[in-house]
Amino acid sequence: MKDFYLIYKNLTRKKMRLFLTTFAIFIAFLIFGAVMSLRGALNSGVEMSADNRLVVVHKTSFTNPLPFAYVNKVKAIEGVQDVTHANWFGGYYQEPTNQVVTFAVDPESYMTVYPELVVEPDQLARWYRNQTGMLVGERMAKANNWKVGDKIPLSSNIFSQKTGGQTWEMEIDGIFKGNEEKVDTSYVLIHYKYFNETQSWGGDSIGWLILTTVDATLNEQVAKEIDAEFANSNNETDTSTEQAFKKAFIDQIGNIGLIIFGVVFMAFFTILIVVGNTMVLAIRERTNEIAVLKTLGFTSSRIFKMVLVESCLLAFLGGLLGIAVAYILIKGASDQMARFLPNLSLDQDVLIQALLYMLVLGLITGIAPAIRALRLNIVSAFSRG
């Protein structure tokens, strides 16, 4: 009789217990897939930050503007390669609840500093020429069903036009993608010059500067020189790496890593107890049967392996179902939540971690009953029976 047939029969002999145990593991890995995907979405900007990219903001608060003159002054600092700037527009489409993350930028320098943004050459050239045009990220375009050539009334909940009103008529000149899946494409770019000339207040100022250094080893030196350049002025600066800037921004909403670790740990600890107790109970119920197998010539090591494989199969059965459902749910929600959680996806790294945890769960919960079966004495087992 095949060992796997025996394992299958033992695993399915009490179907209700199998269902409940599998369901518990299923829930654990569903939670794991969801929270790890959430963490990946929140940290995607940090992970994709260039090593040699720095961000310069106002020292008091990044919401305070900086003078436009800072652009050329930063360019003149030794070790700086390329410089661009951006302004927060505070955009929405049709309804204030339909937020559209929008930045007013200098097109040519922005695309130089962010080479990971990929645009069709003809679309990019068209955007460069058209001051009332905008470049839309792929995820944002999908979320709103936009396409190249569409006329879009883009409103701001912060700025107003000199002519009155808070809506700018824009045309989609192009749609940009990322050179990798994790690159954020859930925002819109418009011309700073057009925005600056038409807004009713706050002209000739920028929100923040983004620059690249000649080499990442010069980051600290360049950052210190920039902040020293504007020290004791009315608009002092705070310069940090793009990675540190984005991480600090995320940390404002709490320690995401600790929260996620707590959720996953509690789920797995609970499941560990449930599955471990189930396996111990199952082996105890089969004491006489294991003794019979040993009498028939099954070696202790063979029975040990069978119990361990049974435990691992149980873990993989529930775990794979949980990860599969998590993938389907996240895939369905990714486009709908693009403007809030860009790059929400269950990637390959999470899948590999999940498979590893399934194996660990199976080994941990199966090792104790497997050892019990390994050490079972035939005479003692029959006498207890």
Closest CA to 327 of 45, 48, 44, 36: 36
Taking residues 322-333, what's their average pLDDT?
86
How does residue 376 score in pLDDT terms, banded at 50, 70 and 90? low
Give tens-digit pLDDT for 248-289: 665 555 556 666 667 777 777 777 787 777 777 777 777 667
pLDDT at 193: 93
Give tens-digit pLDDT for 208-233: 999 999 999 999 999 999 999 999 89
- C-beta separation of 377 from 215 below 8 A: no
Taking residues 30-46, what's their average pLDDT?
75
Give tens-digit pLDDT for 114-154: 999 999 999 999 999 999 999 999 988 988 899 999 999 99
pTM here? 0.68
Rounded to whole angstroms, the Cα distance separating 140 from 131 reads 20
Q: Write the single-letter amino acid at 249.
A: F
Taking all residues of the chain, what is their mean pLDDT, rounded to a whole number?
A: 84
Closest CA to 54 of 218, 207, 265: 218
Highest mean pLDDT among 35-39, 189-193, 253-257: 189-193
How does residue 162 score in pLDDT terms, banded at 50, 70 and 90? confident
pLDDT at 46: 56
Rounded to whole angstroms, the Cα distance separating 128 from 125 reads 5
pLDDT beyond 70 at 336: no
**Within 13 Å and on the Cβ side, how many CA atoms surround 93?**
19
How does residue 48 score in pLDDT terms, banded at 50, 70 and 90? low
How does residue 349 score in pLDDT terms, banded at 50, 70 and 90? confident
How does residue 10 score in pLDDT terms, banded at 50, 70 and 90? confident
How does residue 342 score in pLDDT terms, banded at 50, 70 and 90? low
pLDDT at 223: 95
Helix/strand/coil (H/E/C) assignment for every residue in the chain? CCHHHHHHHHHHCCHHHHHHHHHHHHHHHHHHHHHHHHHHHHHHHHHCCCCCEEEEEECCCCCCCEECCHHHHHHCCCCEEEEEEEEECCEEECCCCCEECEEEECHHHHHHHCCCEECCHHHHHHHHHCCCEEEEEHHHHHHHCCCCCCEEEEEECCCCECCCCCEEEEEEEEEEEECCCCCCCCCEEEEHHHHHHHECCCCCEECEEEEEECCHHHHHHHHHHHHHHCCCCCCCEEEEEHHHHHHHHHHCCCCHHHHHHHHHHHHHHHHHHHHHHHHHHHHHHCHHHHHHHHHCCCCHHHHHHHHHHHHHHHHHHHHHHHHHHHHHHHHHHHCCCCCCCCCCCCCHHHHHHHHHHHHHHHHHHHHHHHHHHHHCCHHHHHHHC
Taking residues 62-76, what's their average pLDDT?
92
Rounded to whole angstroms, the Cα distance separating 30 from 307 reads 26
Residue 16 CB: number of other CB atoms within 10 A?
Answer: 7
Rounded to whole angstroms, the Cα distance separating 39 from 361 reads 22
